[in-house]
């Protein structure tokens, strides 16, 4: 079969999903499919979906309704739902949306070619949603767009069962990928021009494979790839170790950046969330990190309006944000997810109060980020440029070691350059500057 093999994938959700899309495309590329970025000319449309909040799923249902139009025009079109919503809703999706042909969960991507073939040959719809305790796709070569930055998934799944979170249900149990295969993939990426590698996992601190833990994995990779930036997400405060901080500090090429979801500043709420740390524990980690790495970049996630959150609990979150002064924060209104423990608690905070709290946190963090950025004025920072700026083709966008976005005039500079940039202007999201030198880090 040589025709009808143009595949288009749209990806929603976290970096893990973007990394999975590269794995799915890798499998399809091996099997003779042609990858396209044009939805209208494709024979197969996959949505790689996210279930983390209701709004994330609403977006997907809206998109499915839009795809109906394409399917009416093109009867042979195959539509597949992959990823977390496929895993969460399973058969219900086939019943609710008759344009859907395939439902494939995050641990079943090896079956994609067989399911497509069967759909084409027999007309049967297909569903594969079994979660695995082993699957890491470690032998699959992901299909990546050439770039400066690349993702490598080092572990999959989550065993933490935070009471609000659907991820352990959609992604299954934790499992880690063999260090040797990670190193080989990283070395291959560097040969192809990658200069910035993100190691991904729902909770990278839980990485453990054949006696190697996450700090050791970082050490091995950083040692083998000098001059290449190594970053990781996401860390859980419960098991972020001193050893990790020390290894970060010891290696110049491990980026001094930690994304450490706090979720709430109230011990009462943290307990019901099943986060396994208190506000004081969290503060201690931040202080340790800053002692060892004074310029470490810190970002976080906050949920507001969790069931039972009082004004006083909310104030504790604001106070802690004021005390810590994160570089940035991602803030979400609580969204009840069926089957999670917190679902049983209802959704007691009215949506107007949730929005007010959300607004207040976002405004406060914006002021803090601006204050942090103002302190960077006049400093010279080393920046790796990774793309054209979204606003203008005449500008380049890059990141500092501590994950700040920096914009410069393009001039003679190229994507992939490591440059020293003097910061001349800032806002709460971005730094702007002028190049003072070229570094070959």
Q: Which residues bind ligand SAH (CB under 6 A)?
A: 52-53, 164-165, 167, 202-203, 234, 236, 261, 263, 301, 303, 332, 334-335, 337
Binding of residue 160 to ligand SF4 (CB under 6 A): yes
Show the tokens assigned to 42: 């494709």
Q: Which residues contact 293 (CB under 8 A, 6 or more apart)?
A: 245, 248, 249, 256
How far apart are alpha carbons 373 and 362 in whole angstroms?
A: 16
Binding of residue 161 to ligand SF4 (CB under 6 A): yes
- Picked from ligand F3S, ligand SF4, ligand SAH, none, the partner binding residue 13 (CB below 5 to 8 A depending on kind) is ligand F3S
- Picked from ligand F3S, ligand SF4, ligand SAH, none, the partner binding residue 307 (CB below 5 to 8 A depending on kind) is none
Task: Identify which of residues 21 and 234 has a Cβ nearer to ligand SAH in the complex.
Answer: 234
Taking the complex as a whole, the smallest distance from the CB of residue 238 to ligand SAH amounts, in Å, to: 10
DSSP, res 174:
-
Taking the complex as a whole, the smallest distance from the CB of residue 93 to ligand SF4 amounts, in Å, to: 22
Measured at the CA of 308, the angle between CA 168 and CA 158, to 5 degrees, comes to 10
- Picked from ligand F3S, ligand SAH, ligand SF4, none, the partner binding residue 53 (CB below 5 to 8 A depending on kind) is ligand SAH
- Picked from ligand SF4, ligand SAH, ligand F3S, none, the partner binding residue 399 (CB below 5 to 8 A depending on kind) is none
How far apart are alpha carbons 190 and 57 in whole angstroms?
A: 36
CB atoms within 10 A of CB 22: 21
How far apart, in Å, are the Cα atoms of 230 and each of 51, 222, 227, 356, 402? 28, 7, 9, 38, 11
Is there a contact between 398 and 384 (Cβ–Cβ < 8 Å)? Answer: yes
Show the tokens assigned to 206: 């839980």
Q: Which residues bind ligand F3S (CB under 6 A)?
A: 13-14, 16-17, 50-52, 83-84, 166-167, 170-171
Task: Identify which of residues 303 and 321 has a Cβ nearer to ligand SAH in the complex.
Answer: 303
Q: Which stretch binds ligand SF4 (CB under 6 A): 27-35, 104-112, 157-165, 389-397?
A: 157-165
Order of strands, sheet of 257-259, starting from the edge strand that comes earlier in the sequence: 257-259, 297-304, 328-333
CB atoms within 10 A of CB 345: 15
How far apart are alpha carbons 340 and 289 in whole angstroms?
A: 32
- Picked from ligand SAH, ligand F3S, ligand SF4, none, the partner binding residue 398 (CB below 5 to 8 A depending on kind) is none
Task: Identify which of residues 49 and 266 has a Cβ nearer to ligand F3S in the complex.
Answer: 49
Q: Which stretch binds ligand SF4 (CB under 6 A): 54-62, 160-168, 193-201, 353-361?
A: 160-168
Binding of residue 158 to ligand SF4 (CB under 6 A): yes
Q: Which residues contact 240 (CB under 8 A, 6 or more apart)?
A: 205, 258, 260, 285
Q: Which helix (H) or strand (E) holds 267?
A: helix 267-272
Task: Identify which of residues 170 and 389 has a Cβ nearer to ligand SF4 in the complex.
Answer: 170
Task: Identify which of residues 84 and 431 has a Cβ nearer to ligand SAH in the complex.
Answer: 84
Task: Identify which of residues 167 and 397 has a Cβ nearer to ligand SF4 in the complex.
Answer: 167
- Picked from ligand SF4, ligand F3S, ligand SAH, none, the partner binding residue 161 (CB below 5 to 8 A depending on kind) is ligand SF4
- Picked from ligand SF4, ligand SAH, ligand F3S, none, the partner binding residue 168 (CB below 5 to 8 A depending on kind) is ligand SF4
Q: Which residue has the tokens 């914009």?
A: 407
User: Among 318, 299, 324, 322, which residue's Cα sits nearest to residue 405?
Assistant: 299
Measured at the CA of 351, the angle between CA 161 and CA 311, to 5 degrees, comes to 80
Taking the complex as a whole, the smallest distance from the CB of residue 97 to ligand SF4 amounts, in Å, to: 26
DSSP, res 253:
T
**Full 3-state SS string of 57-123:** HHHHHHHHHHHHHHHHHCCCCEEEEEEHHHHHHCHHHHHHCCCCCEEECCCCHHHHHHHHHHHHHHC
Binding of residue 83 to ligand SF4 (CB under 6 A): no
Binding of residue 365 to ligand SF4 (CB under 6 A): no
Binding of residue 50 to ligand SF4 (CB under 6 A): no
Task: Identify which of residues 160 and 395 has a Cβ nearer to ligand F3S in the complex.
Answer: 160
* Per-residue x/- track, 194-233, ligand SF4 (CB under 6 A): --------xx------------------------------
The alpha carbon of residue 102 and the mean position of all alpha carbons in its chain are separated, in whole angstroms, by: 25
How far apart are alpha carbons 254 and 232 in whole angstroms?
A: 9
Taking the complex as a whole, the smallest distance from the CB of residue 190 to ligand SAH amounts, in Å, to: 27
Taking the complex as a whole, the smallest distance from the CB of residue 84 to ligand F3S amounts, in Å, to: 3
Task: Identify which of residues 50 and 186 has a Cβ nearer to ligand F3S in the complex.
Answer: 50
Instruction: Give me the residues that bind ligand SF4 (CB under 6 A), please.
Output: 158, 160-162, 165, 167-168, 202-203, 236
């Amino acid at each position: 079969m040589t025709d009808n093999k143009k595949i288009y994938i749209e990806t929603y959700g976290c970096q893990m999903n973007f990394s999975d899309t590269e794995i799915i495309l890798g499998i399809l590329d091996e099997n003779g499919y042609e990858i396209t970025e044009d939805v209208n000319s494709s024979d197969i449309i996959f949505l790689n979906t996210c279930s983390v909040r209701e709004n994330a799923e609403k977006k997907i249902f809206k998109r499915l309704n839009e795809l109906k139009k394409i399917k009416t025009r093109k009867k042979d079109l195959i539509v597949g739902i992959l990823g977390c919503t496929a895993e969460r809703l399973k058969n219900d999706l086939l019943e609710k949306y008759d344009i859907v042909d395939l439902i494939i969960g995050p641990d079943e991507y090896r079956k994609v070619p067989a399911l497509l073939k069967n759909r084409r040959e027999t007309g049967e719809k297909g569903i594969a949603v079994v979660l695995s305790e082993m699957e890491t796709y470690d032998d699959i070569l992901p299909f990546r767009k050439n770039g400066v930055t690349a993702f490598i998934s080092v572990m999959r799944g989550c065993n933490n069962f935070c009471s609000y979170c659907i991820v352990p249900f959609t992604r299954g149990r934790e499992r880690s990928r063999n260090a040797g295969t990670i190193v080989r993939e990283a070395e291959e990426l560097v040969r192809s021009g990658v200069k910035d590698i993100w190691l991904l996992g729902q909770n990278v601190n839980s990485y453990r494979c054949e006696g190697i833990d996450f700090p050791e994995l970082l050490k091995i990779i950083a040692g083998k790839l000098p001059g290449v930036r190594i970053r990781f997400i996401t860390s859980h405060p419960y098991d972020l170790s001193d050893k990790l901080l020390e290894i970060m500090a010891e290696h110049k090429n491990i980026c001094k950046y930690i994304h450490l979801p706090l979720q709430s500043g109230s011990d009462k709420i943290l307990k019901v969330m099943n986060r396994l740390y208190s506000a004081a524990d969290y503060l201690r980690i931040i202080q340790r990190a800053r002692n060892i790495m004074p310029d470490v970049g810190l970002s976080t996630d906050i949920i507001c309006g969790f069931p039972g959150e009082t004004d006083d609990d909310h104030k504790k979150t604001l106070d802690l944000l004021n005390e810590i002064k994160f570089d940035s924060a991602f803030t979400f209104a609580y969204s009840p997810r069926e089957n999670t423990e917190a679902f049983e608690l209802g959704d007691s905070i009215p949506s107007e109060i949730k929005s007010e709290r959300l607004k207040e946190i976002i405004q406060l963090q914006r002021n803090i980020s601006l204050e942090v950025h103002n302190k960077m004025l006049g400093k010279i920072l080393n920046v790796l440029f990774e793309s054209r700026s979204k606003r203008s083709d005449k500008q380049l966008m890059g990141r500092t070691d501590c994950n700040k976005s920096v914009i410069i005039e393009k001039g003679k500079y190229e994507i992939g350059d490591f440059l020293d940039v003097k910061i001349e202007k800032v806002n709460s999201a971005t730094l702007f500057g002028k190049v003072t030198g070229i570094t070959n880090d």
